[in-house]
């Protein structure tokens, strides 16, 4: 029967695909876990909670705490989003350092800020990992006090805090 033959073939093709997918995913250094962290209530979403690059860096998970740091004034907010987003509105005094242009702009940044400068990175909230990547990059370069404000600009704006 043609239908049975077709079903058998489809099962073979799908089985090969699944086997190959799982094998490659397991062996590849870029592979992800079988279940990710996709609940924004629990923190930043990521396909790979175990392999989270910024696992060692401190996360600021409340907007009020970020505001406290902002009010103290000695913390430098660094915006990991694109320049477009930054231009449309950012936390007052924040410096733009899009993670996609990190290499191009980091020299300027290094010349201006000492390694002990307290830094808080942020991006577009809990559905974006750019602030984590940026924090990791800065930490790798020797910045000793880097934290991540995970609710990012949308969280800040929603609280009605000042923007510029």
Q: Does 38 bind other proteins (CB under 8 A)?
A: yes
Between residues 10 and 158, which has the closer beta carbon with respect to other proteins? 10
Q: Does 34 bind other proteins (CB under 8 A)?
A: yes
Between residues 67 and 85, which has the closer beta carbon with respect to other proteins? 85
Tally of CB atoms within 10 A around 73: 8
Q: Rounding to the nearest 10 degrees, give the CA dihedral for residues 103, 91, 121, 141.
A: 40
Q: Does 45 bind other proteins (CB under 8 A)?
A: yes
- Cβ pair 76, 112 in contact under 8 A: no
- Cβ pair 96, 112 in contact under 8 A: no
Q: Does 13 bind other proteins (CB under 8 A)?
A: yes
**CB 7 to other proteins: min, Å:** 8
What tokens were used for 157?
A: 């704006």
Between residues 28 and 111, which has the closer beta carbon with respect to other proteins? 28
CA–CA–CA angle 42, 18, 45 (5° rounding): 15
Tally of CB atoms within 10 A around 107: 9
Rule CB under 8 A: choose which of 108, 127, 142, 158 binds other proteins. 127
**CB 70 to other proteins: min, Å:** 27
Binding mask 93-112 for other proteins (x = CB under 8 A): -------x------------
What tokens were used for 130?
A: 């750019």
CA distance 152 to 95: 14
Rule CB under 8 A: which residues touch other proteins? 2, 5-6, 9-10, 12-14, 16-18, 20-22, 24-25, 28, 30-36, 38-39, 45-48, 100, 127, 129
């Amino acid at each position: 029967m043609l239908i049975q033959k077709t079903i058998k073939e489809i099962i073979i093709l799908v089985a090969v695909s699944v086997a190959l997918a799982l094998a490659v995913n397991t062996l590849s250094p870029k592979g992800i876990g079988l279940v990710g962290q996709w609940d924004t209530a629990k923190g930043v979403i990521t396909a790979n909670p175990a392999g989270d690059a910024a696992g060692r860096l401190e996360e600021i998970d409340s907007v009020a705490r970020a505001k406290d740091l902002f009010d103290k004034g000695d913390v430098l907010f660094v915006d990991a989003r694109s320049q477009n987003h930054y231009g449309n509105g950012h936390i007052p005094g924040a410096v733009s350092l899009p993670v996609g242009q990190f290499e191009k702009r980091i020299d300027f940044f290094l010349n201006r800020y000492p390694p002990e400068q307290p830094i808080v990175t942020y991006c577009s909230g809990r559905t974006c990992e750019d602030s984590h990547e940026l924090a990791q990059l800065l930490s790798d370069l020797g910045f000793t006090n880097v934290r991540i404000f995970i609710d990012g600009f949308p969280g800040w704006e929603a609280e009605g805090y000042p923007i510029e």
